[in-house]
Amino acid sequence: MPADIILETDGLTKGIDLSVILPVHNEARSLPILWEEVTAALAANGGSAEVIFVDDGSTDGGDAIIRAMCGRDARVRLVRLAANAGLSAAMDAGLRRARGRIIVTLDSDLQNDPRDIVTLVSRLDGWDAVTGWRRDRHDPWLKRLSSRVANAVRNRVLGDTVRDSACGLRAMHRRCLPDLPRFRGFHRFIPSLLRLAGYRVIEVPVNHRPRRFGASHYGLRNRARAASEDLLAVRWMKARWLRYEATEEP
């Protein structure tokens, strides 16, 4: 575990079964609907839970909505980044503060369906991590095409078989967190990075819905170059990953 990756809540997980991490950037109109859906999913899943909203420098007043949620429900926590730092930073901030034995990540734009949380968590009995596969995507055709091409290129370069690496709906055991490398762009490669660290990862089909409010924050222009650079970095990491067996003799 790299020295600069420290989980702030190690040893504080007693009593919390599930942490749901929701990165947020200018999704104020989605938040009330999302919260109703998440609370229903938590009731269906059972057990104790916390919900961590990570505000990535929003400017639409969404933080006030989340503060109101905190006042009504003790399970809600708000983490605010000082300025917009991107999805990887928001994800990392949430992961560092999560206290649950199981960690779930979810997009805040209502395209992921919180009802799938129960499905993903149920598969963790036999796997270290479960990631969603948006088999029937409801995005514009160009976004669907670019995603299909990006996944194909990633798999070719990394020698992997991940069908939907960028799906934000994931569940994993807490034990995975210390071995998940963190860097700008790591959110695009979480299934591959976990497999690289030796964890068993499975993809399961999840529901995907059309965007109801606003527009996507990501597109070809603002992520193609960064994604390509990140891919080469992960390929280098995979080639240089330490692999060995050792025993200590008496």
d(CA 102, CA 129): 9
Instruction: For residue 59, give its domain range.
Output: 18-240
- pLDDT of 158 over the 50 cut: yes
Has residue 195 been placed in a domain? yes
Is 54 part of a structural domain of the chain? yes
- Proportion of the chain above pLDDT 70, given as a percent: 87
Dump pLDDT digits (tens) for 72-128. 999 999 999 999 999 999 999 999 999 999 999 999 999 999 999 999 999 999 999
Q: Does residue 237 carry a pLDDT above 60?
A: yes
Q: Is 21 helix (H, G, I), strand (E, B) or coil?
A: strand
Is residue 47 a part of any domain in this protein? yes
Question: Alpha carbon of 137 to those of 133, 144, 159, 234: distances in Å?
Answer: 9, 7, 24, 26
pLDDT bracket for residue 10 (50, 70, 90): very low
- Contact call for residues 23 and 56 (beta carbons, < 8 A): yes
pLDDT at 142: 72
Q: How confident is the model over 182-192, as a mean pLDDT? A: 90
Mean per-residue pLDDT for 240-250?
83
Tell me the residue length of the chain: 250
Task: Calculate mean pLDDT across residues 42-61.
Answer: 96
Instruction: Encode 43-61 in three state secondary structure.
Output: HHHCCCEEEEEEECCCCCC
Statement: residue 172 has pLDDT above 60: yes
In a domain, 10, yes or no: no
Q: Is the dihedral of CA 10, 16, 17, 18 positive or negative?
A: negative
Q: Categorize the per-residue pLDDT at 242 as very low, low, confident or very high, splitting at 50, 70 and 90.
A: confident
pLDDT at 215: 65
More confident site: 25 or 2: 25
Whether residue 79 is contained in a domain is answered as: yes
Confidence at residue 157, expressed as pLDDT on a 0 to 100 scale = 75
Structure-block tokens of residue 129: 């991590």
Q: Which of 215, 205, 191 minimizes the C-alpha distance to 136?
A: 205
45-54, 172-181, 203-212, range with the lowest pLDDT: 203-212
Q: What is the pLDDT of residue 57?
A: 95
- Over residues 46-72, the mean pLDDT reads 96
CA distances from 51 to 45, 77, 210 (A): 14, 6, 23
- pTM comes to 0.83
Nearest to 136 by CA among 128, 124, 144: 144
- Nearest Cα to Cα of residue 185 among 137, 134, 150, 149: 150
CATH number at residue 230: 3.90.550.10
The more confident residue out of 41 and 218 is: 41
Residue listed under structure tokens 């591959």: 192
* pLDDT the model gives residue 14: 59
Task: Classify residue 137: in a domain, yes or no.
Answer: yes
Categorize the per-residue pLDDT at 9 as very low, low, confident or very high, splitting at 50, 70 and 90. very low
Q: Is residue 158 within 8 Å of 165, Cβ to Cβ?
A: no
Residue in the block written with tokens 């059972």:
46
Quick check: is 1 in a domain?
no
Rg (CA), the chain: 18
Other C-beta atoms lying within 10 Å of the C-beta of residue 91? 22
Nearest-angstrom CA–CA distance, 190 and 170: 9
Instruction: Out of 6-10, 42-46, 94-98, 164-168, pick the least confident.
Output: 6-10
More confident residue, 172 or 196: 172
- Give the total number of structural domains in the chain: 1
Average pLDDT value for the chain: 86
